[in-house]
Amino acid sequence: MLLTAIFAGLRASEVRGLRWQDVDLKGAKLHVRQRVDRFGKIGPVKSEAGERTVPIPPRLVNTLREWKLAAPKSKLDLAFPTLAGTPQALTDIVRRSFQPAQVAAGVVNAKGQAKYKGLHTLRHFYASWCINREKDGGLELPLKMVQARLGHASIQMTADRYGHLFPSTDDGAELAAAEKALMH
C-alpha cells in the first residue's frame, strides 16, 4: 500500500478505495475511479479530474502482483482491505504501517518518532519525483502532465503547490552556457 502511495501519487482515500479491477498489471497502470472517505464510505473521487489513469513503475507492478496473491479477499474487490475485506481506516494505516516504516528507515524526529504524520507526505514525494530533473533522479515531467497524474482539477492548484520545484529558468550558469553556445 505504501509503495502504491509513493509511486502512483494517489491520495490516501484513493489508495484505500483502489480495487483490483482498476489495477492493470499488464499495462502497468492504475485507474483511479473511487475513494474511501474518512468514515469508511466508498464513493466517487474528489473531482472529475480525480478520475484518471496513472502509469506505475515495474517494481510496483511486481510488488502488486505478489500482493494480489497474498492479500485478504474482499467482496468489494479492494486491493488493500482489512482481514475482513473492508476498507482500512486511515489512522490504522498510519499507526500500523506508515509510522513503523519511517522508524525502520531512520526517518525520525529528535525524539526517535516517525517524522511525518500523514500519508499525504507520500503524495508530495510523488509530485516532487515527477517534477525534479532527470539528472537529479526525477522524471522531469511538464506541469500539465503532473496536474493530470495528481488528479488536480486546475493547473493553477498544481502550480501553486509545486511550482517552486520546477527548475528555474533564470539560472545564471545556464544562461552563460547558452550565450556562449549562441555567440561562438
Domains of the chain: which residue ranges? 2-172
Report pLDDT for 165: 84
Report pLDDT for 171: 64
Report pLDDT for 182: 77
Which CATH architecture fits 2-172? Orthogonal Bundle (1.10)
Report pLDDT for 170: 62
**Contact criterion met (CB below 8 Å) for 28 and 61:** yes
Cross-strand partners of 87: 81
In the chain, how many H helices and how many E strands? Answer: 9, 5
> Which strand (E) or helix (H) includes residue 35?
strand 34-36
Measured in degrees and rounded to the nearest 5, phi and psi for residue 138 equal -95, 180
Measured in degrees and rounded to the nearest 5, phi and psi for residue 182 equal -75, -35
pLDDT values of the chain reduced to their tens digit, one per residue, 184 residues: 999 999 999 999 999 999 999 999 999 999 999 999 999 999 999 889 999 999 999 999 999 999 999 999 999 999 999 999 999 999 999 999 999 999 999 999 999 999 999 999 999 999 999 999 999 899 999 999 999 999 999 999 999 999 888 876 666 776 677 778 877 7
Q: Output the pTM of the full model.
A: 0.86
Report pLDDT for 169: 62
